[in-house]
Chains A and B, each alone.
Chain A
Amino acid sequence: MTRYVLGRVAQAVGVLWAAYTVTFAVLYLLPSDPVALQLGAAGIETDKLSPSQLDAAMARYDLDRPVLEQYLTHLWNALHGDFGMSISKQVPVTDLLVDRIGATAALSLLAGTLSLIGGFALAYSASYLRWRPARLLLSRLPSVGASFPQFFVGLLLIQVFAFNLAWFPATGTDGFSSLVLPAVTISLLTSSVLAQVLMRSFDETLRQPYIVTARAKGLSRAAVQWKHAFRNAALPAMTILGVVVGLTVTSAIVTETVFSRNGIGKLAQEAVIAQDVPVVLAIVTFAAALFVVVNLVVDLLYPLLDPRIVHVQKVSR
């Protein structure tokens, strides 16, 4: 058991390290001229500098050393929670993140709650209803929900609920009321994804022979659905929680931009516009860490919830 947990944690750390490395490679090796890219972000135009000025500027941003050395320094510092200086804002990246994380965390929590409720309610009722038209309608909803681009949903919500009805503020980061519209925007997509997976899982579960056994006992459909189908259907769906969390984080980028909320998502958008490499690297690493941790937790919890799974070596892959 302990061995399994340790192994699983080590694997998670390995994936996170690899994700950091891949992102670093993209940002530092892919550009044709990484120096010009980064100095450009600081407002310095490299072709207007004299060679000595250029050397000084490169030294200032540690760009004069070989890439491998830069990588090791960055990795070492990142391990200590230091992601370097934002080139465009001239503040430590970590400070920027800490400053912005609250707004995004609140938004993600509300969006997550809404999408769990929405996704489960939709899938549960779609598989419970007997009336075919209603059933068909509900089963089509998730694919419709997933089709609307989030910037469109956001703008539509602003138009209706902020401008026409004036129930919620259109933009801003102040208080709970400013959270509602962006959270709904995000959860429309995430609950659709969740509902799609759950619906498939319910369909599959309700076809299992033990459901017939349960119905033959004389249990009502409601009891069969709740006592026999729910847990068996929800368990496999747990494995996509990591994906849903990842989706929530990326949704924050578009949503916070639409609603002008000062969170990590908007920071990411600003950083890309300014080509602020250290900030982009930090945010990607942060999101990957979140995904890895959620998956780790799900993997460690799963056996506690499903009696069939015991910890054995992974032989299926």
Chain B
Amino acid sequence: MSILNPRPGRTSTSGLERAVDEALLSEAVIDDGDLGGRRANLRAAVGTLARKPGFVLALVFTIFVVLTAFVPSWFAGHDPYATSPSDRLLSPSLSHPFGTDEIGRDLWSRVVHGSALTIKATIIALAIAIVAGLTLGVVSGFFGGIVDALIMRAVDVLLAIPSLLFALAIVTALGFGTVPVAIAVGIGIIPGFARTTRAEVLRVKTLPYVEAARAGGASWLRVLVRHVLPNSWGPVAVLAVLDTGVAIIAIASLSFLGFGAAPPAAEWGTLISAGRNFLITAPWVPLLPGLFVAAVVLSLNHISKTFQELAR
């Protein structure tokens, strides 16, 4: 084989798939009467998603959690800081869905108010990761050459340091609190983002329609904005949703380890960490908030996975 075909395999499909494609070829072409176009496509995609109960559930729950972060008072019946010595360590009930902690504070209200800190930290972390990661990835993939080599070497180095450990170093340097934790986690996600974005940009950049646009006289800027970016954001968006879950776990872990906001304010991780002393006597104190965090991450992962399958 010549050097012109450096990657054998991977491109061709099997006879089985070809048979399916053949059968569906006629389906891909719609009637002349149909209008088709973007809106119809979007409607079809929404229709497909709406028919997936798991996806709808995950989406509704995610929206609920985001709402709790911004208007916790809508969902919490009690003051999260109001102590009540007579109501210590009550097990879950109608008035206290998650029970109460060792000084009688309503745990559900504390979890809901904890959303505000944790979700905002997640948003900061993602904003850092997306802005820096996208910029690095696009610049690297689009311009190539020395710029690409330099950026990718830097990314390799960052990838060599496990992200939670790197976050620890940053927290050590910046001090404790919600914002340092958010920054630390955000920086830790940058390399993965940069890599995925770069790979997508590189993939789209070599597609025939980009070459066609160049041959049609389009400038590189136009090619980037009109062709490369719109066609490469899909996998990047999937990763962003997935990384939201990763960021939530990382932020909760860091606050669990004791690096988050100072008491009495409590992020999800802090709540669980404080509750673990009561594991024997009142297991719901650490476990129910933990389950809540898991449900949030699970929802995000499911949304991400559904998008991924839809794109295929």
Contacts and interface: CB of A to CB of B under 8 A. Distances in A.
Contact of B174 (A30, A250, A268): A30
A155 B276 contact: yes
A288 B160 contact: yes
Contact of B171 (A18, A247, A272, A295): A272
Contacts of A37: 173
A219 to B, nearest CB: 16
Contact of A209 (B15, B157, B172): B15
Interface in B292-312: 293-294, 297-298, 301-302, 305
B236 interface: no
A22 B157 contact: yes
Contacts of B61: none
Interface string A180-218: 000000000000000000000000000111011000000
A280 B169 contact: yes
A135 B269 CA distance: 34
Interface string B160-179: 11111110111111110000
Contacts of B156: 15
A16 B160 contact: yes
B72 interface: no
B12 interface: yes
A156 B290 contact: yes
Nearest to A150: B253
B165 A283 contact: yes
B9 A208 contact: yes
A151 B272 contact: yes
Contacts of B253: 149-151, 253-254
A123 to B, nearest CB: 16
A37 B175 CA distance: 9
Given A152-B293, A155-B290, A209-B12, A257 B165 contact: no
Main secondary structure on chain B at its contact with chain A? helix
Interface residues of A, number: 57
Contacts of A212: 14-16
Contacts of A143: 298, 301-302, 305
A15 B160 contact: yes
Contacts of B297: 147-149
Contacts of B168: 253, 268, 272, 280, 284
B287 A159 contact: yes
Given A149-B297, A317-B149, 14 more contacts: A19-B157, A143-B305, A151-B290, A155-B290, A159-B287, A207-B13, A250-B163, A253-B165, A273-B259, A275-B172, A281-B169, A283-B165, A284-B168, A291-B160
